[in-house]
Amino acid sequence: MEIDNPDVIAEARAVFDRYETAIATNDAEILDASFWPDPRTVRFGVTEILYGIDAIRAFRATVKTYAPRIQKHIHITAFGRDFACTHLEYERVGTGLIGRETKIMVRLPEHGWRVVSAHVSLLAGHDPGRTQKG
C-alpha cells in the first residue's frame, strides 16, 4: 500500500479546504455534502454526539454561526488511493481556546471523497501532555 501519495494528499487537502471555507461562512449545504450520506456516518462535536447523516443534518440546521478560528497546524495522511485522515489544530479567535478536529475520509465510487467520521474537541485548560506539535 502506498502511503502519502502526493496526488491523494492534494485531493484530501482540497476537501479539507472546502470544508474549512464552509465552516467560516456557515454554508450548511457544503458541510452536509462533505459527509457520506449514510446512517453509518459519525460526527462527535464539542457538544454533540451524532450517529448518521440525518442527525448530522439536523444539527447543522440549528447552527447560526460557528466560532471563528485560526488554523495552527494541519496534518494529512493518505493510505492508498481512497482513504485519508485530516487533523487540524486550531485556536478559537478571541478566546485562546485550542481545538482539534479529525476527519476520516474515503473516496466512494458513487460519491467521490466524503467524510465518514469526524471528531471535534476543545482542550480543557492546560493540557500537561501537550509538549510539542508533531
Q: What is the pLDDT of residues 60-79, one digit of tens each?
A: 999 999 999 999 999 999 99
The stretch 29-55 carries a mean pLDDT of 96
pLDDT band at 96 (very low <50, low <70, confident <90, very high): confident
Give mean pLDDT, residues 28-51: 96
Provide mean pLDDT across the span 89-118: 96
In this prediction, residue 134 carries a pLDDT of 45
**pTM of the predicted model, to two decimals?**
0.88
pLDDT > 50? residue 118:
yes
pLDDT mean across residues, the chain: 92
Mean pLDDT of the 84-91 span: 97
Q: What is the pLDDT of residue 127?
A: 52
pLDDT confidence bin for 128, thresholds 50/70/90: low
Calculate the alpha carbon distances from 110 to 14, 17, 105 in Å: 19, 22, 14
